[in-house]
Structure 1
């Protein structure tokens, strides 16, 4: 069976990245770390790369850059991290694969596609499990949220911290005012099984697709709709084509900052502490930037002609997807209980 173009491209990224690692390219890869030159007090120096799918002015990218700034400061300049925005090193799934290989050292990705690499992360794709952003962060900073981040080590990844991503809602080229309006719509979703099941429960037709392909797909009618948060809706310019945005808030899918487990295991305890401390400190900055950009994005899409609709009957939406949640309750029971508990803490 022939691979489609997207899969060939993704595989090519991974193979090329692996070659870079094996040959010990001076800008990254595990060979470069082992051969790091001596810095202050004889400690090794490193120049790492961080893959980011969003543009340079996006809140997650700003979080990445704050992380890099803090690492350089805390290491006295021994450790530098170059951030590559706008998917220069590949879309999120490809970036995760390269980080697993150690060909790229760091990446920031949505927890949505992470379910393909660590099934526990599928819980974040379940619909309507969080009430608001404060609820999300009470869970992420709980013992269970920390354990979930640490569980990534079994997947060849090391989770350093979470970042904010707001709530995801639907936007369409056609008017959407109620749940029934989604029936039969072709809606782009993140490439994981759970998102497809959610669309089925809502009566829509899921179309898994890389984020970078959504604009042209909306423009040409390959899809009728997509779903994302305010900042992505604005920065991607999807609001120019799909001007109907309904605030159902079906998912609150956090972001995660990752380092390759291969790379992590080569570092000294002191350097590991620097990276972890810098990542955690960058989180508060990223959350502040997110809140500001979210508000600005809403104002700009409204000014650009987008029609924003509030959901009048949230229970109808929640009831429609209950079978999906129940299907996964056994698998994610412990985490769902912790999320429920975080509502009242």
Structure 2
């Protein structure tokens, strides 16, 4: 009897210990917060790798209290659906060009002006100006969405090129060129001013458009040239610095404010480090791309960009005089270029 009693007591002790451990594990699991992070890019793309780098760093710096689940390749829906989810807070993060924020503040379509800044530093100063920061504040006041950290930190590009069927060594040769275009009024206005013959094609239709001759050229981030294989049917590539791109990590502001100070700092630190990682990764991708494509017979053309930017400076001055630019736009742009 005494043995049976001791055995029963030991069993109860073990069961109690297991219950306490399970409760503790359950509490830890319940304490962890999960953020849903929507992206357009495939997981194995340079951008996709940098997104996962960010997510891994958040988990590390939060001690596992905050988990960022990355959903690549529009798994959670197209942009319009994601914007609704982001505003509602069912998606907490969305990484994409800030252009989409013009849904709430139309002036944001000017956040990456075409052929206005010759280098990324100038554009970064512009985005961090009072003017642009004011636009972003309006978005938060309207939709509850704000950027995580510096909106220019995460690099896309890292610069833009024009892929053509014939060499482009002088910007005046743009006149009459059949250029693949997308439905953006600013881009349409600029390229029309330069004399391009615009052909509206979806990004996924561009290769066939170039192959068939519907278009003879396309503008693109350098890092995407190889993946899209445009060089197979348009074997000349010219760097243009058309505009500078950053992938702003737009987040639901209320979701961020509900986090602990530790988890907020984990997000900010991870974002800053992911930005540095993206800059290195994008430059390496662009450099290695050029070497590989040159080996396949693709020609990289050097073009003097000063005449192009001088032409566009006159265009911006005329647009400003006509009142077609946002108030304070040229003042902020000129300050950034000094």
- Shared fold by TM > 0.5? yes
Could you say which residue in structure 2 is the equivalent of 1:215?
207
Taking the TM superposition and a 5 Å limit, the aligned residue runs for 1:221-300 are 221-261=213-253, 263-264=255-256, 267-268=259-260, 270-300=262-292
Q: CA deviation at 1:287?
A: 1.6
Task: Please tell me whether Structure 1 or Structure 2 has the larger radius of gyration of its CA atoms.
Answer: 2
Q: CA deviation at 1:173?
A: 3.3
Q: CA deviation at 1:275?
A: 2.4
Change (3 A) 1:313 1:120: closer
1:214 and 1:221 map into 2 onto residues whose CA distance is 10
Q: Report the secondary structure of 1:342's partner residue.
A: helix
State whether residues 111 and 256 of structure 1, in contact with CA within 8 Å, keep that contact through their aligned partners in structure 2. yes
Q: CA deviation at 1:92?
A: 5.0
Count of residue pairs the alignment pairs up? 307
Change (3 A) 1:155 1:336: farther
State whether residues 118 and 241 of structure 2, in contact with CA within 8 Å, keep that contact through their aligned partners in structure 1. no
Q: CA deviation at 1:267?
A: 4.2
Higher mean Cα deviation, 329-338 or 224-233?
329-338
Could you say which residue in structure 1 is the equivalent of 2:162?
170
1:207 and 1:116 map into 2 onto residues whose CA distance is 25
Q: Report the secondary structure of 2:117's partner residue.
A: coil
Higher mean Cα deviation, 139-148 or 271-280?
139-148
Higher mean Cα deviation, 230-239 or 202-211?
202-211
Q: Report the secondary structure of 1:257's partner residue.
A: strand
TM-score by length of 1: 0.74
Change (3 A) 1:202 1:105: same
Taking the TM superposition and a 5 Å limit, the aligned residue runs for 1:133-152 are 133-140=120-127, 147=134, 149-152=136-139
Q: CA deviation at 1:190?
A: 4.5
TM-score by length of 2: 0.75
Taking the TM superposition and a 5 Å limit, the aligned residue runs for 1:115-194 are 115-140=102-127, 147=134, 149-153=136-140, 154-160=142-148, 161-162=151-152, 163-165=154-156, 166-194=158-186
Could you say which residue in structure 2 is the equivalent of 1:27?
none
2:172 and 2:80 map into 1 onto residues whose CA distance is 32
State whether residues 191 and 210 of structure 1, in contact with CA within 8 Å, keep that contact through their aligned partners in structure 2. no
Match of 1:84 among 58, 71, 83: 71
RMSD of aligned alpha carbons = 3.3
Could you list the runs of 5+ residues in structure 2 that have no partner in the other structure? 1-24
1:300 and 1:92 map into 2 onto residues whose CA distance is 33
Summarize deviations over 1:172-209 as a string: whole Å, max 9, x none.
23443333432333423344211111111111133455
